[in-house]
Amino acid sequence: MESGDGTALNSQKVEDGVGVPSGGSSVPAFDVIVIGAGFAGLYALKRLRDLGYSVLVCEAGSDVGGVWYWNRYPGARCDVESLQYSYSFSKELEQEWEWSERYASQPEILRYLNHVADRFELRRDIRFQTRVESAIYDESHGGWTLSLNGNQTTKASFCVMASGGLSVPRLPDIPGIDHFAGKIYHTGQWPHEPVDFTGIRVGVIGTGSSGIQVIPKVAAQASKLVVFQRTANFSVPARNAPLSPEVQRAWKAIYHEYRARARQVGTIYEVSEKRTFDVTEEERQREYQRRWDKGGVNVIQSFRDVMVDKSANDVIADFVRARIRATVKDTSTAEALCPVGYPLGAKRICVDTDYFETYNRPNVELVDLKKNPISRVDANGVATTGGYHELDALICATGYDALTGALLNIDIRGRGGMTLRQKWSQGPRNYLGLMTGGFPNMFIVTGPGSPSVLANVVVGIEHHIEWIADCINFLRANGVRTIEATPQAEDRWVEHVNKAANKTLFPLANSWWLGANVPGKPRVFMPYVVKFGHYRRECQQAADNGYEGFALGAN
Ligand code: N01
| Secondary structure string (H, E, C) spanning 415-482 | HHHCEHHHHCCCCCCCECCCECCCCCCEEECCCCCCCHHHCCHHHHHHHHHHHHHHHHHHHHHCCCCE
- What is residue 307's predicted lDDT score, i.e. its pLDDT? 96
* Residue to mutate (ligand 1; options 517, 521, 526; most atoms within 8 A of CB): 517
Q: Provide φ and ψ at 176, rounded to 5°.
A: 90, -5
The pick from 209, 217, 394 for probing ligand 1's pocket by mutation, whose C-beta has the most ligand atoms within 8 angstroms, reads 209
pLDDT at residue 18 tops 60? no
- Mutate which of 398, 400, 456, 526 for ligand 1 pocket (most atoms within 8 A of beta carbon): 398
Mean pLDDT along residues 463-488: 97
Element (H, E) at 127: strand 126-127
Cα angle: 41, vertex 122, 154; to 5 degrees:
65
Question: Pairing mode, if any, of strands 374-378 and 381-384?
Answer: antiparallel
Q: Which of 212, 300, 342, 348 to mutate to test ligand 1, by most ligand atoms within 8 A of the CB atom?
A: 348
pLDDT band at 512 (very low <50, low <70, confident <90, very high): very high
Same domain, yes or no: 465 and 355: no
| 439 and 469 inside one domain | yes
Of the pLDDT bands very low, low, confident and very high (cuts 50, 70, 90), residue 269 is confident
CA–CA separation, 148 and 407 (whole Å): 15
- pLDDT beyond 60 at 461: yes
Indicate the pLDDT class of residue 19, thresholds 50, 70 and 90: very low
Q: Identify the CATH number of the domain in which residue 379 sits.
A: 3.50.50.60
The pLDDT > 70 percentage for the chain reads: 95
- Does 549 lie in the same domain as 493? yes
Domain identity same for 31 and 61: yes
Of the candidates 400, 102, 359, the residue with the CA atom closest to the CA atom of residue 219: 359
Ligand 1: centre distance to CA 12 (Å): 18
Residue 204 has pLDDT above 80, yes or no: yes
Q: How many residues does the chain have?
A: 555
State in Å: Cα 239 to ligand 1 middle.
Answer: 21
- Residue of 9, 230, 353 to test ligand 1 pocket, by largest number of atoms within 8 Å of CB: 230
Same domain, 72 and 216: no
Dihedral, CA of residue 168, residue 171, residue 173 and residue 174, to nearest 10: 180
- The one-letter amino acid at 491: D
Tell me: do 29 and 138 sit in the same domain: yes
Residue 216 has pLDDT above 60, yes or no: yes
Band (47; pLDDT cuts 50, 70, 90): very high
In a domain, 300, yes or no: no
Contact predicate 451/499, CB 8 Å? no
Q: What is the pLDDT of residue 217?
A: 98
pLDDT for 305-321, tens place per residue? 999 999 999 999 999 99
Burial of residue 281, with CB atoms counted within 10 A of its CB: 0-12 exposed, 13-18 middle, 19 or more buried: exposed
pLDDT band with cut points at 50, 70 and 90 for residue 8: very low
pLDDT of residue 11 exceeding 80, the answer is no
| Average pLDDT of the residues of the chain | 93
Q: How far is CA 25 from the centre of its chain?
A: 34
In sequence order, what are the beta bridge partners of 55? Answer: 32
Query: In this structure, are 92 and 200 located in the same domain?
Result: no
**89 and 227 fall within a common domain:** no
Integer Cα distance of 389 and 372 in angstroms: 12
Q: Which of 399, 431, 465 is at the close of a domain?
A: 399
Which numbered atom of ligand 1 lies nearest the CA of 398?
A: 30
Residue 5 has pLDDT above 50, yes or no: no
Strand ranges across the sheet with 364-368: 183-186, 393-396, 201-205, 224-229, 364-368
Residue with CA at minimum distance from ligand 1 atom 41: 172
Instruction: Round the CA-based radius of gyration of the chain to a whole number and report it.
Output: 23
* Nearest alpha carbon, ligand 1 atom 45: 78
Residue 15 has pLDDT above 70, yes or no: no
Q: Are residues 393 and 412 in the same domain?
A: no
Q: How far apart are CA 449 and CA 441, in angstroms?
A: 17
Atom of ligand 1 at shortest range from CA of 71: 39
Find out whether 482 and 438 touch, Cβ atoms under 8 Å. Answer: no
Which one, of 508, 532, 350, 537, lies nearest residue 454 by Cα?
532
- Mean pLDDT of the 109-137 span: 98
pLDDT 10s digits, 359-385: 999 999 999 999 999 999 999 999 999
Ligand 1 atom closest to 174 (CA): 41
Is the residue at 252 inside a domain?
no
Nearest CA to 138 out of 159, 163, 117 is that of: 159
Single out the residue in 337, 367, 399 at which a domain terminates: 399
Q: Both 391 and 427 in a single domain?
A: no
Ligand 1, atom 40: closest residue by C-alpha: 172
Residue after which a domain boundary falls, among 399, 430, 459 = 399
What is the full DSSP assignment across 326-385? HH-SSHHHHHHHS--SS-TTSSPPEEESSHHHHTTSTTEEEEETTTS-EEEEETTEEEET
Res. 215: pLDDT tops 80: yes
* Residue 92 clears pLDDT 70, i.e. is over it: yes
Number of domains observed in the structure of the chain:
2
Confirm whether 476 is domain-assigned. yes
Between CA 22 and CA 26, with CA 25 as vertex, the angle to 5 degrees is: 110
Does 426 share its domain with 455?
A: yes
492 lies in the same domain as 368? no
Pocket of ligand 1 (CB under 6 A): 77-79, 166, 172, 174, 187, 205-211, 213, 228, 230-231, 348, 351, 369, 397-400, 453, 512, 517
**Residue 472 within a domain:** yes
Residue type, 379: A
CA distances from 308 to 58, 304, 443, 501, 529 (A): 41, 8, 32, 10, 11
Residue at 282 is within a domain: no
User: Considering the domain boundaries, does residue 255 fall inside one?
Assistant: no
Position 189 in a domain: yes
Residue 506 to residues 18, 224, 242, 269, 321: CA-CA distances in angstroms? 36, 36, 33, 19, 19
Centroid of chain to Cα 554: 35
Give residue 435's Cα distance to chain centre.
19
Comparing CA positions, the residue from 237, 231, 205 lying closest to residue 218 is 205
The whole-angstrom separation of Cα 278 and Cα 302 is 12
What is residue 141's predicted lDDT score, i.e. its pLDDT? Answer: 81
Q: Are 447 and 430 in contact (CB under 8 A)?
A: yes
Q: Average pLDDT for residues 123-131, to the nearest whole number? A: 98
DSSP 184-205: EEEGGG--SSPPP-TTSEEEEE
Ligand 1 centroid from CA 335, angstroms: 20
- Among protein residues, the one whose CA lies closest to atom 9 of ligand 1: 399
Tell me the CA–centroid distance for residue 185 and ligand 1, in Å: 14
Helix boundaries (H) for 157-280: 209-219, 245-253, 255-265
Residue 432: inside a domain, yes or no? Answer: yes
Domain interval for residue 355: 170-233+347-399
